[in-house]
Amino acid sequence: AQTVTQSQPEMSVQEAETVTLSCTYDTSESDYYLFWYKQPPSRQMILVIRQEAYKQQNATENRFSVNFQKAAKSFSLKISDSQLGDAAMYFCAYLNRDDKIIFGKGTRLHILP
């Protein structure tokens, strides 16, 4: 069974600075998808970024980018120019062959003004 581990329960970053959230996963599959979802206080789950495992190039979406290290099974999220609206819970997620998403426990990100 696949597992997703987020080792940082909470992080803080100054507004306009850059922060990196860590995620590691364990799987025996070779093809899969990885995601970061954001959950603000409203508790809605918002897709931030996705990565296909067969692609070596790291995904980017505006201020959000990932560092995908397939051999190390690592998938970190970098947020550049942090904004107050980025404050949320961030979940790393793995999509397995059965179309089931497995989530990490989340990292709560605080943005300091």
Partner 1 sequence: EPEVTQTPSHQVTQMGQEVILRCVPISNHLYFYWYRQILGQKVEFLVSFYNNEISEKSEIFDDQFSVERPDGSNFTLKIRSTKLEDSAMYFCAIQGGREETQYFGPGTRLLVL
Enumerate binding residues for partner 1 (CB under 8 A).
33, 35, 37, 42-47, 50, 52, 91, 95, 98-106
Q: Which is nearer to partner 1, 46 or 112 (CB)?
A: 46
What the block records as the tokens of 48 is: 């931030």
Q: Which is nearer to partner 1, 13 or 90 (CB)?
A: 90
Contact assessment for residue 6 and residue 104, using Cβ atoms and an 8 Å cutoff:
yes
State in angstroms the smallest separation of the CB of 28 from partner 1: 18
Q: Which helix (H) or strand (E) holds 77?
A: strand 74-79
- Cα–Cα distance measured from residue 32 to residue 67, given in angstroms and rounded to the nearest whole number: 16
Q: Which is nearer to partner 1, 78 or 103 (CB)?
A: 103
